[in-house]
A and B are shown apart, each in its own frame.
Chain A
Amino acid sequence: EVQLLESGGGLVQPGGSLRLSCAASGFTFSSYAMSWVRQAPGKGLEWVSAISGSGGSTYYADSVKGRFTISRDNSKNTLYLQMNSLRAEDTAVYYCAKDQAGIVVVPAAPWDYWGQGTLVTVSS
């Protein structure tokens, strides 16, 4: 059974940093691209970042480019999101999601499994 478990969320002040983790199990982690998707309170979904199975290719939404860094440790079956220079508008539940297609980030590929999310609150 595929499981994705996010952790690392919490309250952080504007300008601060936070690192999210997503522990994966139930599939060959290194064989699949992964993504982070967020949802502000009461709002819709927003794609944040994606990474290929090898970690060699990364993609970011304009809203987080230069502030967030996606990475993965395939030996630990774990996906990360390093968030720096956090702003109030980054407040959201952050979900990790598994790409259905495979090791490469395929633009049209759906996310077939999602974690339960971790809440990040940016406030003074």
Chain B
Amino acid sequence: QSVLTQPPSVSEAPRQRVTISCSGSSSNIGNNAVNWYQQLPGKAPKLLIYYDDLLPSGVSDRFSGSKSGTSASLAISGLQSEDEADYYCAAWDDSLNGRVFGGGTKLTVL
């Protein structure tokens, strides 16, 4: 059972927009920044969004992040087949004194 809660899977058609949620508590998302990682099949994770809504250099602006209270969201617009991957949210947890992840969300582009 992961500390942060994500939907196990989402799917959407090409060129559409999808949102992936990440729910936590006051000890993690409510008090600390959220980072998002993309893991393509068989590959290492890659930083996608950091400090809630910042885009690393080289990451497409089709990806965006937001946070409100104890929940965060990752939005992907203009879906492409190459976006099929697992997506993970992560944050520091003040109670556990460590970094925690969501269980991951598998995105399928129909």
Which residues does A use to contact B, with CB under 8 Å? 35, 37, 44-47, 50, 59-62, 95, 100, 107-108, 110-112, 114-117
Contacts and interface: CB of A to CB of B under 8 A. Distances in A.
Nearest to A46: B101
Contact of A107 (B47, B86, B99, B104): B99
Contacts, number: 60
Interface residues of B, number: 27
A107 B32 CA distance: 8
Contact of A114 (B2, B46, B50, B56): B46
A71 to B, nearest CB: 18
B68 interface: no
Given A44-B103, A47-B99, A59-B98, A114 B45 contact: yes
Contacts of A107: 32, 92, 99
Interface string B8-51: 00000000000000000000000011010101000011110011
Given A44-B102, A59-B97, A107-B99, 10 more contacts: A44-B103, A45-B45, A45-B88, A95-B45, A108-B51, A110-B50, A110-B90, A112-B47, A112-B56, A114-B44
B47 A111 contact: yes
A108 B92 contact: yes
Nearest to B34: A108
A108 B99 CA distance: 8
B76 interface: no
A47 B45 CA distance: 13
